[in-house]
Amino acid sequence: MERVSLTSTSWKTAVAEPIEIRLKDTVRLVFVPTVVDNQKDKDACVKGHFVYQKKKKLDSWEDVREINLSQLKPAEGVKLELKSAELLFLLKKLADLYRIHRQDGIQRGSNQYVKLSGALEGLCNATDEDLRQFVELSSDNAIGTFKRIAKWLSSVEHSDKVVESLESLSADNIKQLNVVAGLTVLKKAFEVWINNQYSTDEEFWQRELTSNSFVLSQIFSFPVVVVKEKAYIGGKTFTNQGGNIVDFLYKNQMTSNPALIEIKTPSTQLISSPYRQTYNMSKELTGSTSQVLNYANSIIQDYYSVVGHETSIFGAYKPTCVVIIGNTSELDSPEKRKAFELYRNNLKDVQIVTFDELYGKVNSFIKLLENGN
């Protein structure tokens, strides 16, 4: 992109870089422009002079001795001829300076301006009403354009420029951007749930909840951070066999107490066969409950062999245990719902959460943000 540099020389003047009109190895013709605040005629804001320069091939440019026009004799004159292409080039460069002054006036210090293409210039000059109509009347194009801009903004290469720009926004503007960004992430996660709620692939859910760890963090009433997924938490024998691997290891951000999360799939069975006037829980549910309790015991017993000297990673006081399993749509009768709720609410040390309950919280956040907007 073309750039224009201006350096102020006073509160009402600024000099620009010389405009090369004609250039050869040893001679060149330049126009040296000065932008001015002309109080008598604000449109007449650029003045300047032509300079004819010469040099040897390895030397710097030097001005040719000036001709004093006042000393010309009758019938004498000086002719400075510009070719049509040279004149057009000069006029375009001067037009840029007129445009800069019209928009910014004289700015103190040294400033650099980038000449935008027609499309970008139109975007920069667009009013709020122009942008609103663009989004409403040309939604597909608007969304495509926004995606490209958002992708550019998310690039680490441009992060400093983005932060610098955001610092100039008001608190309300930044809050609104956070709402929009949060909605986008939440809706994307919820869409994955809608499209895969019958998936029996446990590894798929492991990957998805790893990518969107905020979904799991909603389970807790305290702030948490991810320590590791597929974390070793002890349990090996003296022959170095076995060992316990929990799906997700979180910790309380304030106290460092660990939280162990074991996941199954939305299609994992919750209820088993009827027993008299109630129902047994499935072996998958009872097995997962026993499994995560065993993990909690293991991480306490083998704490120092797991963390070594890095005790700041997490503590091991009384681990919080969670099992993510099944779907409440399976509970299609009052008796099944009663049996399930009695089972999980009487578990003292394990929290049972179904996948649809987990993603139901995501949907609640979406509605909350949309209504707040």
For position 54, what pLDDT does the model report?
A: 82
Whether 178 shows a pLDDT value over 90: the answer reads no
Query: If you average pLDDT over each of 69-83, 96-110, 124-138, 229-243, which comes out highest?
Result: 96-110
Mean pLDDT of 220-229: 88
* pTM confidence score: 0.60
**Of 203, 318, 323, 206, the residue nearest 255 (C-alpha):** 318
Counting residues of the chain whose pLDDT is more than 70, the rounded percentage is 79
* pLDDT digit string, tens, across residues 51-62: 888 888 777 777
The residue that leads in pLDDT, 242 or 182, is 182
Q: Are 208 and 362 in contact (CB under 8 A)?
A: no
For position 238, what pLDDT does the model report?
A: 42
Whether 130 shows a pLDDT value over 80: the answer reads no
| Lowest pLDDT segment from 23-37, 99-113, 124-138, 268-282 | 124-138
For position 281, what pLDDT does the model report?
A: 96
Q: How is residue 259 written in tokens?
A: 């939280």
Q: Are 233 and 295 in contact (CB under 8 A)?
A: yes
For position 369, what pLDDT does the model report?
A: 80
Orientation of helix 171-196 relative to helix 202-211, angle to 10°: 180
For position 333, what pLDDT does the model report?
A: 94
Can you list the positions of beta strands (E) in 195-277?
Answer: 224-232, 245-252, 258-263, 271-275
| Lowest pLDDT segment from 189-203, 233-247, 284-298, 341-355 | 233-247
Where helices occur in the chain by DSSP H, the ranges are 84-104, 118-125, 128-137, 139-153, 159-167, 171-196, 202-211, 214-217, 283-301, 303-307, 334-345, 355-372
The label of the residue with tokens 């509970």 reads: 331
Mean pLDDT of 268-272: 96
Alpha-carbon gap, residue 365 to 359, rounded angstroms = 10
**Of 76, 13, 102, 87, the residue nearest 50 (C-alpha):** 87
Whether 263 shows a pLDDT value over 90: the answer reads yes
For position 328, what pLDDT does the model report?
A: 96
Mean pLDDT of 191-215: 93
**Of 258, 267, 317, the residue nearest 292 (C-alpha):** 258
Q: Are 199 and 359 in contact (CB under 8 A)?
A: no
For position 280, what pLDDT does the model report?
A: 96
- The model's confidence at residue 81, banded by pLDDT at 50, 70 and 90, is confident
For position 153, what pLDDT does the model report?
A: 64
Instruction: Parse the chain into domains and list their residue ranges.
Output: 3-122, 123-191, 194-372
Alpha-carbon gap, residue 39 to 41, rounded angstroms = 6
Mean pLDDT, the chain, as a whole number? 84
Whether 373 shows a pLDDT value over 60: the answer reads no
Q: What are phi and psi of 53, to 5 degrees?
A: -125, 150
Whether 316 shows a pLDDT value over 90: the answer reads no
Mean pLDDT of 110-131: 71
